[in-house]
Amino acid sequence: MIQHATRVASGPAHRWQGAEVPYERPAPRQLVPYRCDRGHVFEVPFAAAAEPPGEWACRCGMLARLPGTAANGPGESEHDRCMRLLLLRRIPAQLGEILAEQLAEMAAQREGGTP
Ligand SMILES: [Zn+2]
């Protein structure tokens, strides 16, 4: 049999007593990105109306966190953390906007700061 369905999560297969059960998507979903301390990034599907939990278990056994709630990684500065979280965003236009803001801010700091 051809497997044509793309599974969005590692949940149970849509089978019951060996027979394929028709699968209907019950509600719109949101894909929520998580990142664990080892750097694994993955997305977990939730119902669009659901509020995703702040932490989720990664496949490696570590706790993964929502971007924005993540603690700084080892040796990671605030700037590194911001850039990492920025890169998790998927909307290039938004990314460009934020990047421009950051660059302007850095330029202003450089001009006003000590040489
Ligand atoms: Zn992990």
pLDDT by residue (tens digit) across 65-87? 987 764 555 566 667 777 776 66
The answer to whether residues 53 and 78 belong to one domain is no
- Report how far ligand 1's centroid is from the alpha carbon of 67 (Å): 14
Q: How many domains does the chain have?
A: 2
Q: At what angle do helices 78-88 and 92-112 cross, to 10 degrees?
A: 160
- Report how far ligand 1's centroid is from the alpha carbon of 66 (Å): 13
- Report how far ligand 1's centroid is from the alpha carbon of 92 (Å): 26
pTM of the model: 0.39
| The one-letter amino acid at 10 | S
Distance of alpha carbon 1 from alpha carbon 14, whole angstroms: 14
Judge whether 9 lies within some domain: no
Judge whether 7 lies within some domain: no
The DSSP bridge pattern shows strands 55-57 and 29-36 to be unpaired
- Report how far ligand 1's centroid is from the alpha carbon of 61 (Å): 6
When comparing pLDDT for 97 and 44, which is higher?
44
- Report how far ligand 1's centroid is from the alpha carbon of 76 (Å): 17
The answer to whether residues 78 and 114 belong to one domain is yes
The answer to whether residues 36 and 51 belong to one domain is yes
- Containing structural domain, residue 44: 25-69
The answer to whether residues 60 and 87 belong to one domain is no
